[in-house]
Structure formats: structure tokens, C-alpha cells
């Protein structure tokens, strides 16, 4: 019987003290048949063994308790617990701890004391900083919480980070650790003492950002960045020296509530708003601290005057810091050097909303580099749209101005396309555009007056939806005699409705625009083609695939470049949904080529590459798809910022690829990034939010968190049902995910009707032999097999195999799924030879992949099972060992896959 009542960390503590030869037997005894527990402990033991001698010695118990707290000259003194005295610092001079001779006290703080120490190494004297931890703040739980964290920090190797060297426990049981001693001055003091100019300070900040980037790439947050924790050494290089409250990014909040030294230990003046409020942290939390450091380094004072936590929380939420150039009256850097780009960069890093800051230290570093090079920076001041959005709940005029701005820009873009027309029509088009622009302007002025409470007496809490409704009403009555203007505004308003997720309203306006152009009442070169692009895009979103080809016809013969790009994009999306993937790839590559033409909007380049990546993903070419998705995301983030819709779309697409690559934990982070943007930009009930939520559930399920995934599937299905209806394919895909979770949770009977519902909707909307229908049918077959209906399961699996082989190019990994299930049925019937043939075919499809997703693991497990049945236990174990190594090789391995492998042993 497994000792599940004990925490894994408690069992781990016992196992690491055993000789390696004795661990396996004790592991068997403690875990019994608890496969998830065994997998978790095996993973911890491998990480322990991989960490080297420093973490493998019994004397290192204290070192693995604490994150790498380095030369503590930046520690701030704090009150001691009641009845506790200091650690006896004054009495330790001359003592030897772990072979290190304590020489003099460097500093004291709430954690303990830091000593300069030396040790003779091959005739040379090595200087280090020894931090002796206050014993009273250590508890068994705290020691366990920090074990994994220190293991991460011990692996850091960067010239801008003080290295963790050694650690142990004194004879009195007091933990200590040793880090590289950095002889230097705090960053701000060093700059002042050396009269460093603005550009020199920016270069130093860039080096600090590089060190922080190294932490982030190792999934570590510093959480206490400040000038006192950055010492500049004799070579002029800044070094990060204190990781006393650092923590691993991939530790969930409910797994590790607080770090040992982070119980109340932070520097409030440098803490992000979310850290002050005790909320979950992200890379942007460290970016905020870097922003405070930059502000102070460049101005000589902090961005906010408050010192206590409650004062800072109030200031951050109610005031905006002065621009650095305005605060630099007494600064060592002249204000004129700060005005402009540096003002913008620093304030962008200090935004209260985490999702509006730079997404990473690397992004901040890159903008500082652009400033030094004289190139345009990516950061922008708060836009009109952002400010107006916050104002809109109280003031109608601001809302309407936002709509006016969007409408005017869109109309200008639509009419601007005519400039690509033939030369002989240019003069006539110019006259038409000028007349149209004047009429549009008059219409919008009237709209503004109609909803302005000062002039019309309307209420002041008008929403964007209400402003659009007012515009639609006035359009019908006021512009009946101006069809060209009306068509342009119908297109603009229709687009706005669609972007709000109001598809029916948007469709009506797009239809009206099309009717005006088709009838000849409205004029414009390729304007009908642009309407066709928008209508086709809407039809794809709604799942009305059968009408898209006819809607697209005018766009496919367009002459203007943006319309041609949009047409090829839609064609690729349509063919992807229809699983005509060769045609989808051809259209996507054509779109990429067209979008790269000089003078086109950069958004088109992002969208086309993202779509090509989607096609490759659907073809099973995951590595190539990942490369494209990463490139698209980088371009979107650099061009539009971290909170733009295109950035979110790129993150979502990358998440799908990461899930397929067997890296669900990374996928969860990508989908979370996308959701944060969608929640901020879209109204409640928007279909895109539901799609992303469903994709997040896919990743959570792949990671083994089926309860959480099921909740997100149910939430997504509710949104889809309300916005798109129960007959939409996204509703069916989400239902399939719900059924899978029910099965994995052991609720087989509950999964069956969900699978039937999903198959019915998919067959009606996509076709009975569509790959999604086939995959869902195969999922149903597995459940029916486990319920004892092998003949029915075999028939379903064979139909699935036939459909997938017809839909996908030869070698697609998805066809391994029914092959695996058919092999399992054969094994159950004792047909070892037949099972071997099927397993070999499945292995050919999945074995070429360098990663281990769920499909490859399933084939490997079945291979091992057959080997055991044929008496080849050693070979079966070798297969499982290889499979386990492959799964564990990714940065954040799937605990679910590791557990399934462990259960097969």
C-alpha cells in the first residue's frame, strides 16, 4: 500500500539520504502501485542526481533550503523574531565553516549575517561571501519548499550573476551557503561616484537586463531587484548578488505559496503592484523593478514618494509618475538627455498593468539598445484608445471619439486602395475620395453630437456597442442618397461589430455594403473585393464553410495588393478547415510572398506567416510550424507590443504546436498570455476567448490536470453555445475535449454521449470523414473498448484509420492513433503477431519525431507491453527507459506522460 498520506517531499527527504543501491527497493516499498507518486519521486531523484556534487553531499541540506542569497551588502536589516538574538556574528570571526575561514562581517539583515571568508586553493586565496542563515526563520516546510528552487539557482552560469559555490549546516544546525564574493559598489552609488552620463547608465542597465534575462530563461524570478543588489565590480561590470527571495516560475501558487525569505521580505519601493497585492507574479514583475531602477538611476529619486506598502499601493493606483525628464532637476543626468524615448521606455516598464509593460527583460534591453543606436523604440506612450477606454465608462464623448477615429482610419484605408488603380482613373478617383471624405466627416460630426450628453441630453455611460448602434441607425436614414459613402461606412461598422464578436450585426452591414457595390450604386476600385474578403472571413469564423468559395470570388481577381493578401489568407484558412492541406499550404505561401512586398502593413507579414505555421502544424510538421510561430510572435511583439491582438494570436498558435510537441506546460504559458490579452480587449462572451480557453484546456489535459481542463472546457462550451451555437464545430471540438477528460478521470459512461454529440456536429459541419470527425470517432472507440465492446471499437477504429489516411499525406502522426488502438485490440485477443505489425506501422509514424508527445508515448507503451507478453522483459524495460528519457528531456516535462510510463513498469 503506497504511503500517499505522506507528502512527496517528505518521502524524497528520506530517499536522498539512502545509498543509490537502496533507493529502488525503498521506492517500491513506499509507492506500491501509486504510479503518479512514483513518477514524481523518480523525477525529483533524477534532478537531484543531475545537480552534481554540490547538491549530492549530505552536508548540503542547508544549501538546498535556500535560494542563492549572495553577498548581502544589499540586505536590509529587519526585526528579529521574539526572543531571538543575532546569529552570533561578532563571535564568529576566525571560525572555520566548511573549510572557509571567516574573516570579517560584511553585513547583517533579517535573514542572517554575511561574512567575508577565504580558503586556500592550490596556493591561492579564494575570497567568498558566506551567508549564515538565522535558524529561527527555518521550518521543515520552508526547507522543503526551497529545495527545488536552490537546485535551479545552483545551475546558473552567467558573468553578470554571482555564482553559488557551496553550502551546509554548522555544528549547531544553522544553515549556511557560500557565493562568489563581488568586490564592488552598488549600481547607483558607482554611477554617481564615476559621474556616468545617461548613455553610460543605459549601457549598465542593459547588462543588468541581460543577467535578468538569464534568470528568466531558467524559469526563475528574482523578485527583489534594486541597485543595492547589483554591485559593479572592478571591471565596471554590474553583477546580481542577492537571490534571497527568488523563485521558480513554474511553481504554481497553490504549490508554493511563499518562499522562505519572502514571507514579508521584499523592498516595497521596487516591488511591482501585483507583488505588493500578493498576486501571482510573472516576468513583467521583474521588468517593473528594472523600471524603478532605471528611473532612480536616471533621475536620482524614486518614481513614487511612498515608502510603506499601503502608501505605494495607493500611489500606483491613483497617480502617474512624473516623466523622468521632469523629475531630473537634481539628477546627475541632464533632463534633456531623458526627454523623449528614455521617458517613454522607463514609463512603459513602470505601467501598473503587468500586461502593458515590456513582456520580458530582453524586450526592455532591446528598446534601450534601440535608443542608443538612434533607432525608433518599440515602446509608446499611453495611446488615445487606452486613455479613452478607461474614460469611456463615465463619458460618452470619449467613446464616440474612439469609434470616430477607427471609422475614419478604416474609410481612409478603403478609399486609399483606389490609388492602386489604373492611371487613367486616378483623377476621377481622387475627386470621389475627396467628396466621400467630406461626407463621412459630416456624418461622424452628427453622430458625435447625437450621443454627446452636453448637446443631446443622452446619458453619459454610453458604450462602444451603443455608439455603433447609433451609427447604424443614422446611416440608414441620413446617407440613403449617398451610396458610396454609405457602402464605406457599412464596411467600417460591419468590421467593428465582427471584431466585437457580434457576428449577426456585422454580417448585416457587410451584406449591405456588398449590395451597394454589386448594384453599381457605390463606386470604388476593388472596394467590392475588400467587402468579399471581410465576408469570407466572417463566414469562416461562423463555420459556414460551404459559402466561402462563392463569397471569395471577387477578391481572388483583385488588383490591389492588400486585398490579394487577404484573399489568399482566407483561401488558406478555408482549405485548412476543409483539410485540403496541400492547397492550404500553396495559398499560405502565396500570401507570404505578397505580404513581403514593399509598402504593405507589417500586420500582413505576421498574419501570413502565422497561417503558414498553422497549415504545417495541421500537416504534422511540428518543428517547422514552431519556427514560424515563434518568428510570427516575435515580429508581432516587436511591432505592435505585448497586448496586441496579433501578439495574442501568435501565442495561441504557438501553444497548439507546443501541445503537439509534448510540451504542454509551455503551451499553458502561451495560452495564458493570449487569454490575458483577450480578456482585456474583448467583451465577455467573445468567441475568440472561448477558443483560446478550450485550447488551454487541451494543454492542461495533456499535462494531466484533467479536473482543471474539464472546468475550462465547460466554460468555453458555454461561451461558444451563446455566441456561435451548438452546431458550430468549435462547440464540437470542446465537447470532444470534455469527453476525453471524463474518460481520463475514469468516467467512461459519461464520456460516451459527449463523444456522440461531438461526432454528430462535426459530421454535419465538416463531413463524416473529416480528420476531426475521425479523431473523435477513434476516441469513442477507445472508451467502448474499455467498456468491453471490442468488436464495436474495432469497427470505429478502422473507419477512423481509413478516413485519416485519406485526409492526410502519408506519414502523418495522427494515423498512428487508430493503429495503436487496433494493436491494443489485437493484444487483448492474443494475436501477438497481428499486434506487432500494427505497432510497427504506428512506430514508423511516430518514432521519427525527436520529441515525445502523447502519440509517441502511447506507441512506446504498447511496444513494451507486447515485449513483456512475449517474454522480453529486459527489452521492454529498455523501451520504457528510452521513452522516459525522451519525455524528461523537454524543459517542463509532462507529469502525466511520466506517470503513464512509470505505471507500465
Catalytic residue flag (residue 188): no
State in Å, rounded, how far the first CA of the chain is from the last one. 17
Least confident among 245-259, 632-646, 652-666: 245-259
Any idea which architecture 185-240+267-380 has in CATH?
Orthogonal Bundle (1.10)
Instruction: Give the Cα separation of 693 and 715 in Å (integer).
Output: 8
**Residue 719 and residue 730: Cα distance in Å, rounded?**
10
Q: State the average pLDDT over residues 117-128.
A: 84
Q: What is the CA radius of gyration of the chain?
A: 31
User: Model pTM greater than 0.75?
Assistant: no
Q: For 302-328, how does the pLDDT look when each residue is reduced to its tens digit (9 = 90+)?
A: 888 766 666 666 677 666 688 887 776
Longest dimension (CA), the chain: 96
Helix (H) or strand (E) holding 31: helix 20-31
> In this predicted structure, what is the pLDDT of residue 428?
53
- The average pLDDT across 360-372 equals 90
Report the Cα 739 to chain-centroid distance in Å. Answer: 26
Nine cell digits for residue 720: 461558444
- Give the 3-state secondary structure of residue 291: helix
Most confident of 120-134, 543-557, 645-659: 645-659
pLDDT band at 389 (very low <50, low <70, confident <90, very high): very low
Instruction: Name every residue whose Cβ is closer than 8 Å to that of residue 900 and which is 6 or more positions away in sequence.
Output: 35, 857, 861
Band (23; pLDDT cuts 50, 70, 90)? confident
* pLDDT > 50? residue 406: no
Which residue has better confidence, 102 or 157?
102
Instruction: Give the confidence band of 263 by pLDDT, cuts at 50, 70, 90.
Output: very low
Which residue blocks in 663-788 are alpha helix, DSSP H? 664-681, 687-702, 706-723, 729-744, 748-765, 771-786
Between 421 and 886, residue with greater pLDDT: 886
Residue 454 has pLDDT above 50, yes or no: no
The closest alpha carbon to 241, from 228, 250, 252, belongs to 228
> What was the pLDDT predicted at 818?
94
Q: Which fold has domain 56-180?
A: Phosphorylase Kinase; domain 1 (3.30.200)
In eight-state DSSP terms, residue 551 is: H
Distance CA 147, CA 364 (A): 31
Which is catalytic among the residues 224, 286, 341, 367? 224
Gap between the Cα atoms of 209 and 821, Å rounded: 50
Distance CA(669)–CA(633), nearest Å, equals: 14
- Contacts within 8 Å (CB) and 24+ apart, 857-860: 857/662, 857/883, 857/887, 857/897, 857/900, 857/901, 858/816, 858/817, 858/820, 859/816, 859/820, 860/901
- Placement of cell 459630416 in the chain: 442
Q: How far is CA 561 from the centre of its chain?
A: 33
Provide the β-strand partners of residue 185.
232
The confidence score (pLDDT) of residue 420 equals 36
> CA-CA distance, 72 to 89, in Å (whole number)?
14
Amino acid at each position: 500500500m503506497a504511503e500517499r498520506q505522506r507528502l512527496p517531499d517528505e518521502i524524497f527527504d528520506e530517499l536522498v539520504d539512502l545509498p543509490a543501491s537502496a533507493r529502488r527497493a525503498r521506492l517500491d516499498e513506499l509507492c506500491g502501485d501509486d504510479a503518479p507518486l512514483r513518477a514524481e519521486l523518480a523525477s525529483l531523484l533524477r534532478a537531484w542526481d543531475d545537480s552534481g556534487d554540490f547538491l549530492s553531499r549530505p552536508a548540503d541540506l542547508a544549501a538546498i533550503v535556500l535560494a542563492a542569497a549572495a553577498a548581502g551588502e544589499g540586505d536590509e536589516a529587519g526585526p528579529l523574531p521574539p526572543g531571538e538574538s543575532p546569529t552570533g556574528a561578532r563571535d564568529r570571526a576566525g571560525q572555520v565553516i566548511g573549510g572557509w575561514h571567516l574573516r570579517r562581517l560584511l553585513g547583517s539583515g533579517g535573514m542572517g549575517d554575511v561574512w567575508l571568508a577565504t580558503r586556500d586553493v592550490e596556493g591561492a586565496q579564494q575570497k567568498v561571501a558566506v551567508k549564515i542563515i538565522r535558524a529561527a526563520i527555518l521550518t521543515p516546510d520552508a526547507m522543503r519548499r526551497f529545495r527545488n528552487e536552490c537546485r535551479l539557482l545552483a545551475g546558473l552560469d552567467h558573468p553578470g550573476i554571482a555564482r553559488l559555490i557551496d553550502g551546509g549546516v554548522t555544528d549547531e544546525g544553522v544553515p549556511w551557503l557560500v557565493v562568489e564574493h563581488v568586490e564592488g559598489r552598488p549600481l547607483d552609488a558607482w554611477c554617481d561616484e564615476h559621474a556616468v552620463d545617461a548613455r553610460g547608465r543605459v549601457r549598465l542597465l542593459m547588462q543588468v537586463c541581460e543577467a535578468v534575462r538569464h534568470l528568466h530563461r531558467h524559469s526563475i524570478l528574482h523578485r527583489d531587484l534594486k541597485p543595492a543588489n547589483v554591485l559593479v565590480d572592478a571591471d565596471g561590470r554590474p553583477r546580481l548578488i542577492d537571490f534571497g527571495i527568488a523563485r521558480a516560475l513554474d511553481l504554481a501558487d497553490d504549490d508554493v505559496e511563499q518562499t522562505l525569505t519572502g514571507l514579508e521580505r521584499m523592498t516595497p519601493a521596487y516591488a511591482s503592484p501585483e507583488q505588493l497585492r500578493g498576486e501571482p507574479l510573472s516576468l513583467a514583475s521583474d521588468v517593473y523593478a528594472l523600471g524603478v531602477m532605471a528611473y532612480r538611476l536616471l533621475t536620482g529619486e524614486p518614481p513614487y514618494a511612498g515608502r510603506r506598502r499601503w502608501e505605494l499601493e495607493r500611489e500606483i493606483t491613483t497617480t502617474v509618475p512624473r516623466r523622468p525628464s521632469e523629475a531630473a532637476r537634481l539628477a546627475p543626468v541632464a533632463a534633456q538627455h531623458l526627454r523623449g524615448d528614455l521617458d517613454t521606455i522607463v514609463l512603459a516598464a513602470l505601467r501598473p498593468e503587468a500586461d502593458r509593460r515590456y513582456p520580458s527583460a530582453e524586450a526592455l534591453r532591446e528598446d534601450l539598445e534601440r535608443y542608443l543606436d538612434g533607432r525608433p523604440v518599440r515602446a509608446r506612450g499611453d495611446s488615445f484608445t487606452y486613455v479613452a477606454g478607461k474614460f469611456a465608462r463615465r463619458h460618452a464623448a470619449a467613446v464616440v471619439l474612439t469609434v470616430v477615429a477607427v471609422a475614419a482610419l478604416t474609410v481612409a484605408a478603403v478609399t486609399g486602395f483606389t490609388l492602386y488603380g489604373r492611371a487613367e482613373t486616378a483623377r476621377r478617383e481622387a475627386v470621389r475620395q475627396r467628396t466621400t471624405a467630406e461626407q463621412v466627416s459630416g456624418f461622424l460630426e452628427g453622430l458625435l453630437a447625437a450621443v454627446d450628453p452636453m448637446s443631446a441630453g443622452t446619458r453619459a455611460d454610453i458604450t462602444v456597442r451603443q455608439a455603433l448602434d447609433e451609427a447604424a441607425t443614422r446611416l440608414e436614414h441620413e446617407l440613403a442618397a449617398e451610396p458610396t459613402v454609405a457602402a464605406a461606412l457599412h464596411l467600417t461598422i460591419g468590421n467593428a461589430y465582427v471584431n466585437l464578436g457580434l457576428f449577426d450585426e456585422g454580417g448585416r452591414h457587410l451584406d449591405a455594403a456588398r449590395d451597394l457595390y454589386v448594384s453599381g450604386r457605390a463606386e470604388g476600385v476593388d472596394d467590392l473585393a475588400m467587402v468579399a474578403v471581410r465576408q469570407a472571413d466572417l463566414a469562416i469564423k461562423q463555420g459556414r464553410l460551404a459559402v466561402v468559395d462563392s463569397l471569395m470570388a471577387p477578391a481572388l481577381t483583385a488588383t490591389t495588393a492588400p486585398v490579394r493578401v487577404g484573399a489568399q489568407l482566407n483561401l488558406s484558412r478555408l482549405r485548412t478547415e476543409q483539410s485540403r492541406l496541400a492547397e492550404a499550404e500553396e495559398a499560405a505561401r502565396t500570401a507570404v510572398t505578397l505580404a513581403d512586398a514593399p509598402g504593405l502593413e507589417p500586420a500582413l507579414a505576421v498574419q501570413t506567416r502565422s497561417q503558414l505555421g498553422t497549415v504545417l502544424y495541421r500537416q504534422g510538421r511540428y518543428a517547422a510550424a514552431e519556427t514560424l510561430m515563434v518568428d510570427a510572435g516575435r515580429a508581432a511583439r516587436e511591432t505592435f507590443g505585448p497586448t496586441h491582438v496579433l501578439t495574442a494570436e501568435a501565442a495561441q498558435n504557438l501553444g497548439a504546436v507546443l501541445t503537439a510537441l509534448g510540451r504542454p506546460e509551455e503551451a499553458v504559458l502561451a495560452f495564458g498570455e493570449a487569454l490575458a490579452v483577450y480578456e482585456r480587449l474583448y467583451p465577455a462572451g467573445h468567441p475568440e476567448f472561448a477558443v483560446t480557453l478550450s485550447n488551454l484546456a487541451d494543454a492542461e489535459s495533456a499535462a494531466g490536470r484533467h479536473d482543471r481542463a474539464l472546468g475550462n472546457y465547460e466554460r468555453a462550451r458555454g461561451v461558444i453555445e451563446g455566441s456561435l451555437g451548438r452546431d458550430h464545430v468549435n462547440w464540437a471540438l470542446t465537447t470532444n475535449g470534455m469527453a476525453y477528460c471524463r474518460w481520463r478521470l475514469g468516467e467512461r459512461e459519461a464520456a460516451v454521449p459527449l463523444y456522440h454529440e461531438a461526432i454528430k456536429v462535426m459530421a454535419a459541419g465538416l463531413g463524416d470523414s473529416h480528420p476531426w470527425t475521425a479523431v473523435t470517432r477513434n476516441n469513442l472507440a477507445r472508451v467502448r473498448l474499455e467498456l468491453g465492446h471490442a468488436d464495436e471499437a474495432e469497427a470505429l477504429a478502422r473507419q477512423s484509420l481509413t478516413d485519416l489516411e485519406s485526409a492526410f499525406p502519408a506519414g502523418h502522426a495522427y494515423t498512428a492513433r487508430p493503429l495503436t488502438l487496433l494493436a491494443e485490440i489485437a493484444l487483448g485477443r492474443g494475436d501477438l503477431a497481428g499486434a506487432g505489425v500494427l505497432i510497427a506501422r504506428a512506430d514508423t509514424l511516430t518514432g521519427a519525431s525527436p520529441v515525445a508527445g502523447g502519440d509517441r508515448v502511447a506507441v512506446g507503451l504498447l511496444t513494451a507491453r507486447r515485449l513483456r507478453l512475449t517474454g522480453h522483459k529486459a527489452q521492454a524495460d529498455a523501451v520504457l527507459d528510452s521513452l522516459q528519457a525522451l519525455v524528461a528531456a523537454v524543459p517542463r516535462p509532462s507529469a502525466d506522460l511520466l506517470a503513464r510510463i512509470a505505471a507500465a513498469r
